[in-house]
Chain A
Amino acid sequence: MENKTEIDLKKIDDIIKNYDGAKEALLMIMQDISDIYNYVPPEIIPVLVKQLGVRESLIYSVATFYKTISLKPRGKYIISVCTGTACHVRGAEKIMDAIRDELGVAEGETTTDSLFTLEAVRCIGCCASGPVINVNKDTHGGLDRSSTLKVIDDYKQLAS
């Protein structure tokens, strides 16, 4: 996918300053960067190397170890299907199937129009309303196949 992200280096500097440039904060710094771009653009990695004084290998090691960090661009809406135990016994797999069928992407993939990324997340702690999904930071609970498809449709409408 050829879509180079415009990087605002001032914003990156501000994020690093928020943590006093501490290398221990590497993970949180990358999470904050992800909040802006939905992923950590590789162009930023040399900046982190320089400003935090860490090796490039450590950055890749941290970025690939933790699930909240992605080095690949993600969609405008990140759908996280909760696959915690409570949601699992209440049918999370069926919700995942419904979204997979509807969007034509597998878990971890992004739709070709860059609108949706489908992910599985371990428990988000809304077990009482399971099965649940998060779309970006909004939680939708008590789902079945048809209400899930309606949620997806609502976001499609919102984007169009």
Chain B
Amino acid sequence: MAKLKNIEAFEQLKATLQDKSPLGGKKLISLCAGSGCGAYGTAKVHKSLKEELKKQGLQEKIEVKLTGCHGFCEKGPIMVIHPEGIFYPQIKPEHIPEVVEQTLQKGELVKSLIYKDPASKKQLIHEHDIPFYKLQKRIIFGNNGLIDPTSIEDYIAVGGYSALAKALFNMKSNEIIDEIKKSGLRGRGGGGFPTGIKWATCAKHKGTRYVICNADEGDPGAYMDRSILEGNPHSVIEGMIIGAFAIGSQDGYVYVRHEYPLAVTNLTIAIKSAREMGLLGKNILGSDFDFDIHISRGGGAFVCGESTALMASLEGRPGRPRAKYIHTVESGFKESPTNLNNVETWANVPVIITKGADWYSAIGTEHSKGTKIFSLVGKVVNTGLVEVPMGTTLREIIFDIGGGIPKKKKFKAVQTGGPSGGCIPEQFLDLSVDFDELAKVGSIMGSGGMIVMDQDTCMVDVARYFVDFLKDESCGQCNPCREGLKQMLDILTNICQGNGKEGDIEFLEEIGAMIQKFSLCGLGTSAPNPVLTSILYFRNEYEAHIRDKKCPAGICKPLFHYEIDPDACTGCTLCAKKCPQDAVAGEKKKPHVIDQKNCIKCGICYEGCKFDAIKIC
């Protein structure tokens, strides 16, 4: 890889690469190798595809690309054949010979592999026709399916590093900051602070300035940052270089979770190739600007997503937050002015610089601009990563894109914002999702986790789950968080075990309010949110646990049992065969009975019954 010594060399390379671009009409197979599809076996599919292409003499004519996450993780491993955009989901090695022979040789479709839309029951051939993709606006995530994340050339071919060239040679530092301010971009990590203002404040303070990318994506149920780093690491690097140039920093850090090995690998490769090309290091693209990026791996501590804790961890200490009387933009990493943004925020920067603040701010709502990537998970048909304009309603995201709730079950709530967020009930499904609207109903945007819950989810158990998580992750420095969460957990555990008593709900509210008010950092002040919102919207479930000693969702084991409805049971014997305890008995074609003494309430019979004969009592 030759070093690009000036802007002309960059433009020349870009023109050469764009001729070879995947968008240029060439036959290309893109195979998702993100962590989700990888878990379903992309490596095996890739191997057989390479072998089969060779066998059928096509290896020179057709390019195969292992790309990052396409977003539709539910249907992995995903294969897309370009330029047509033919979409083959859940592809397995045994499908490959047919795909190569039918589709690649003869141009015919393999009917059995075409995606079937569960809502309309229609077969949809092209990626862009599938409701999951059609209703999205993928300005940040769109290139993931087109580029090989380990190839800097691929990124340049789709317009990558052009924003950097523009910023370095056609804009002054303050103009870049003004553009970001004008775009209305707000931090995608959780707080939603205006990015341009943060940059401007950091640039004002004297000293060695640092820029940091927060990739310690800790919210359980959120994985968009991992997928950006895995699938398009250069977009984050480019954003960081532009930010560093605007702020006046020469040193950058990416703090990434150790649990994301593929993200670390792809980011490492990306940084290395950017250095070799002269896009990182001394005199970037021949300018007088120097900047480099280092990677630091986190150690599995949720609290390190908090900026001051993250900086302590970067310095080699335990990640404990400090009180922010002085903001990190003034004194952060190594007591120097530090600008920290999260992965998705950095990935927005090149788009804004290329297309302009006016174009960007036309997307979204009055105070929340651009798009947001949500990780739509839990009890939803189309699980995956969804990028939509700010202001899209919850109903559009969960039902139109997500395809609704599986197995015809009833929607109960959606949890947004991770452990610091809240549970939003059905009555707010038409809420426009942006920073302010979510706050109005007691939740937050957070980093974009959206966990859908159905009738079988117990809200008390969910609240207990989050408090249990946060109690473990509390760094232990301040009393309200350390002791308060423990007390809340004890009460919630009692309620879930059938030992709840009158006054518990009020006590939870009281402790919650105290923790919110007096904790040291963001983890503590937001920790009671899942409990308080679930009490607000699902008080009846708490009362059922406490007064009636019942768990209506059938989750809290001491508070329910399974019974077979003799009228609905057909005696198909499926439950008796599947029961690991041999606790179901009955003759063929006659109603079965559960032996309550042996039943461990594992739910296998309940999930498996085709006649809805097993009831939660």
A-side residues, CB < 8 A to B, are: 22-28, 31, 54, 58, 61-62, 65-69, 83-86, 88-91, 94, 97, 121-130, 132, 137, 139-141, 144-146
Q: How far is the CB of B514 from chain A (nearest CB, A)?
A: 25
Among candidates A65, A84, A127, A140, residue contacting B299 with C-beta atoms closer than 8 Å: A65
- Complex Cα distance, B43 from A137, in Å, reads 14
Distance in angstroms from B369 CB to nearest chain A CB is 27
Q: Could you tell me the distance between the alpha carbons of A62 and B317 in the complex, rounded to whole angstroms?
A: 6
**Across the interface, do B40 and A27 meet the contact criterion of CB distance under 8 Å?**
no
**Which chain B residues border A126 with CB–CB below 8 Å?**
35-36, 39, 73, 223
Q: How large is the interface on B (under 10, 10 to 19, 20 to 34, 35 or more residues)?
A: 35 or more
Given contacts A69-B299, A129-B36, contact A123 B220 (CB under 8 A): yes
Set of chain B residues within 8 Å of A58, measured between Cβ atoms = 316-317
Nearest Cβ in chain A — how far from B272, in angstroms? 14
Within 8 A of A (CB), among B301-315: 301-302, 313-315
Interface pair B462/A128, CB less than 8 Å apart: no
Query: Which of B297, B383, B475, B607 lies in contact with A127, CB distance below 8 A?
Result: B383
**A66 to B35, Cβ gap below 8 A?**
no
Task: Check A85–B221 contact: CB distance below 8 A.
Answer: yes
Rounded to whole Å, the gap between the CB of A61 and the closest CB of chain B is 5
Are the C-beta atoms of A121 and B301 separated by less than 8 Å? no
Is A128 in contact with B76, judged by CB distance below 8 angstroms? yes
Residues of chain B contacted by A128 (CB below 8 angstroms): 36, 73-74, 76, 377, 383-384
Please encode chain B, from 570 to 604, with 1 for each CB lying within 8 Å of some chain A CB and 0 for all others. 00000000001000000000000000000000111
Nearest residue in A to B223 (C-beta to C-beta)? A125
Given contacts A23-B316, A89-B462, A128-B76, contact A122 B384 (CB under 8 A): no
- Of the candidates A61, A66, A140, A144, the one whose C-beta lies within 8 Å of that of B301 is A66
Identify the closest chain A residue to B421 (Cβ): A85
Name the residue in A23, A86, A97 with the highest tally of chain B Cβ atoms < 10 Å from its Cβ: A86
| Interchain Cβ contacts under 8 Å between A and B, 11 examples | A24-B315, A26-B316, A86-B451, A125-B35, A126-B73, A128-B73, A128-B377, A128-B383, A129-B39, A129-B76, A132-B39
Q: How far is the CB of A63 from chain B (nearest CB, A)?
A: 9
B residues near A, CB below 8 A? 35-36, 38-40, 73-74, 76, 217-223, 226-227, 258-261, 296-302, 313-319, 375, 377-379, 383-384, 415, 418, 449, 451, 453, 457, 462, 465-466, 469, 473, 475, 580, 602-604, 607
B301 partner residues in chain A, CB cutoff 8 A: 65-67
B297 touches A31 (CB 8 A): yes
Closest chain A CB from B60 CB (angstroms) = 34
Report the bound CA distance from A15 to B586 in whole Å: 63
Which of A22, A23, A125 gathers most chain B CB within 10 Å?
A: A125
Which residue of A28, A90, A130 contacts B297 across the interface (Cβ within 8 Å)?
A28
CB distance from B559 to the nearest CB of A (A): 15
Q: A23-B316, A86-B378 are in contact. Are A125 and B226 (CB under 8 A)?
A: yes
In the complex, the answer to whether B259 meets A130 with C-beta atoms within 8 Å is no
Chain A's closest residue to B313 (CB) is: A27
Chain B residues in 8 Å Cβ range of A69: 299
CB nearest neighbor in A for B530: A85
Name, among B74, B222, B260, the residue most crowded by chain A CB atoms within 10 Å (CB to CB). Answer: B222
| A88 proximity list for chain B (CB < 8 A) | 220, 462, 465
